[in-house]
Amino acid sequence: MSVSPHDCVVVVLGASGDLAKKKTFPALFALYKRDQLPKHCHILGYARSEMTREAFHERISGHLKGSKEEIEGFLSLCNYQSGKYDVDADFKSLDETLRKYEEDHSKDTLRLFYLALPPSVFAQVASQLRRNTYLDGAINRIIVEKPFGHDLESCRKLITEIKGMWAEHETFRIDHYLGKEMVKNIPTFRFGNPIIENMLNSEHVDNIQISFKEPFGTEGRGGYFDEFGIIRDIQQNHLCQVFCLLAMEPPKDFSSEAVRDAKVQVLQQVEPVRADEVLIGQYVAANGKPGYKDDETVPKESRTPTFAAVVLRVNNERWRGVPFILKAGKALDEGKVDIRIQFKESDTQMTGSERNELVMRIQPGEAAYIKVNTKLPGMANTSAPVELDLTYAKRFHDMHIPEAYEALILDALGEDHSNFVRDDELLASWAIFTPILHAIDKGEFEVAKYAYGSRGPEEIDDFMARLGFRRTVQELAQAE
């Protein structure tokens, strides 16, 4: 993708924080290395911390992977300015700095503001930027990080506040999962392959699992995590976005608005979540690792789930009767994010053969494979499941696979909204999850305990079996 603005200034607000240091600046650096930033581009970090330009460079350079020359070239574009988030004079000073970088204040000038900030200051900073640094007659864009609210009401309030200052076409709400290569591949994999798309319906599919597993706990961030929990942190946004791309009807075309229209439509067709199709859990100490409540920052009476399985059901002709199981957890036995589509058995299926499955692994190591049954070589007529495997590292070993933030920042520079979240999409998603979240917050669900390093609560196997999910013979053997 090419970007057209003659002058471009990227302002990273919250530049002294971990998100900016570990994600935003490395993504900008990757674009710089591949010559994908605008020709005349300046990058300015802004935060409350007092810091010299040299100290700022030292802070971010440890996360930049490249040659000495590349890093020095990138840092030459980067400057830093300190200022508060609620002081008009500081933002007026920021505007003065930006004008020094811009050769020509024309319609080809782009100011891109990236809010790597906590949500508590989103509206305040968006207001300051609009009042004091918005360049009339030029291109102004604002990137907002998740979380977008705490529930439906808070999300609607945040959207209303920001929309009062920034137009929807100027606003880019990042869910970084939409920048992951395998997630971006879902529409192509579906609609570019009739053999796949024609199988994705209730006639052929028994159940779909979208799974997120982390092998570590909150690791000192328990107090922060306790405000949100695993459903707000992972399922309402990341996994729900994956669900949309899997479940949506073919869009009328593949423009950003048509794709987002299709996503909103399927979200509005989701039935209210059933209480008996929710399982939540919280990890306890095991295998030499501390439990969630062993973190001093976590309230001892906390019921915040660190594991959850939530079933979404779509009330339309294509998907009626098919459970979409969104499962996420911390402190589990492995780190993995994948989609697992289990197909129904046919009346003519051979005895002893296993279900066909389509698996798309989002991380680690992008891959897509179909599990089919084949006869084992030899005299006996014995079948075994095998994988028709597309592993990206093997098939595309000579191609660059961008990191999620790298791809999304490039999209924002080029005004491509396809992989960003629209306001009505957010509201539709929160409308699904808010009732169940409020019920959890009120203590209406039992919180199952599970050991650090396990597969999750013991109840998960019965829960999944009730929904029609079947573990393979290999998985069952490994569990014994």
DSSP 101: H
Are 42 and 100 a contacting pair, CB within 8 Å? no
List all residues 6 or more positions away from 76 whose beta carbon is below 8 Å from its beta carbon.
none
Cα gap 128→413, rounded to integer Å: 21
d(CA 427, CA 159): 9
Residue 213 and residue 363: Cα distance in Å, rounded? 10
Q: Which of 169, 238, 397, 400 is catalytic?
A: 238
Through-space distance between the first and last CA atoms of the chain, rounded to whole angstroms? 50
* 42 assigned to active site: no
Cα–Cα distance, 44 to 13 (Å, whole number): 9
State the Cα angle at 407 between 236 and 363, rounded to 5°.
Answer: 55
Distance CA(207)–CA(470), nearest Å, equals 9
In this structure, the strands spanning 139-145 and 78-82 are unpaired
Dist CA 249 CA 394 (whole Å) = 31
Question: Nearest Cα to 433, choosing from 249, 233, 245, 263?
Answer: 233
Contacts of 191 (CB under 8 A, 6+ apart): 197, 250, 254
The pair of three-digit structure tokens given for residue 108, joined into one six-digit string: 């080809």
Q: Supply the DSSP string of 221-264, one letter for each residue.
A: -HHHHTTTHHIIIIIIIIIHHHHHHHHSPPPSSSSHHHHHHHHH
CA 291 to chain centroid, in Å, comes to 26
- Catalytic positions, written as ranges: 238
